[in-house]
Structure 1
């Protein structure tokens, strides 16, 4: 599974980072950085939570 970020859509709210800090973080400029795009089955619940909480739908799973 892969996390896909629509960077222009991301507004840097940080809710996804709160849901999945092992997979992503906001940098010093407030830009979302995916620490890993490819995720395993064990991390799928975190990735799903991050996708669900994004208020602008900037994340999706592929």
Structure 2
């Protein structure tokens, strides 16, 4: 799991931090930052809860990008010649 942080939407309410301080922190300007570079399995529930707590939806839970094998990418890329 990954968390997308939309800093343009963040208003500094800090609810994400209050709900999940192991995942989120507030920077010196009052905006959210991820405390960890990788959301481990044991932090997934907390990360998701913190994202849901955001009143302006500045945090979004996303599935990690899964790279397909090179041959599979070529099969699906119709622009490549």
Aligned to 1:9: 9
- RCO higher in 1 or 2 (8 Å CA, sep ≥ 6)? 1
Unaligned 5+ runs, structure 1: none
Unaligned runs of 5+ in 2: 63-81
Bigger CA radius of gyration:
2
Q: TM-score when scaled to structure 2?
A: 0.70
Structure 1 runs of 4+ with >6 Å offset: none
Structure 1 residue 27, shift from structure 2 partner: 1.7
Per-residue deviation at 1:28?
A: 2.1
Count of aligned residue pairs for this structure pair = 62
Please provide the CA RMSD for this pair.
1.1
